[in-house]
Structure 1
Amino acid sequence: QFVRKLSGSTKPSKRNEHAFHHAVEAIAAIARELIDTLETNQEPRNREEEAAKAKARSALRFA
């Protein structure tokens, strides 16, 4: 999506297809590298706990 946004095109011409796909692969690799190197001190969130908190907030708001 990012490459399509930058290029202003949803589908590249045959002439630009190689460059388009190369850019997609390069950006995907850089994004993966960023995600893999990010660090945090927090524990991973528990989906069930977060859902319970959201339900409690909703009950207070709409009750």
Structure 2
Amino acid sequence: MCRNIRALHNFEPPVTDDEIEAAALQYVRKVSGTRRPAAVNEEAFGEAVSAVAAATRTLLDNLVTKAPPRDREVEAAKAKARAAERYGPRASVSG
């Protein structure tokens, strides 16, 4: 459950709705302290995920940067290199 929420801003190709939804789900899981809510809390959990996803989309749509977009493959390669240095060559970063 303790996976990192990844940066979503300024990538080429742009972030997808599925990536935003996944980040929102991770956030709500972390804040609520549960991976899967009890049946009585499912509606509140789902509403929270939807609200966080909508807020994230609004934020990303309104952010302005002068930096060139980052390449997803290059960033993934950098992350794998950092993991290999930190944990050894057999470590990999899921993504």
Q: TM-score range by the shorter chain?
A: 0.5 to 0.7
Note the residue ranges of structure 2 that are not aligned, 5 or more in a row: 1-25, 79-95
The alignment's TM-score, normalised by the length of structure 2, stands at 0.45
Greater share of residues in helix: 1
Matched residue, 1:8:
33
Higher alpha-carbon Rg: 1
Task: Indicate the percent of aligned positions where both proteins have the same amino acid.
Answer: 49
Higher relative contact order, structure no. (Cα contacts within 8 Å, ≥ 6 residues apart): 2
Matched residue, 1:19:
44
Note the residue ranges of structure 1 that are not aligned, 5 or more in a row: 55-63
Greater share of residues in strand: 2
The alignment's TM-score, normalised by the length of structure 1, stands at 0.66
* Matched pairs, number: 51
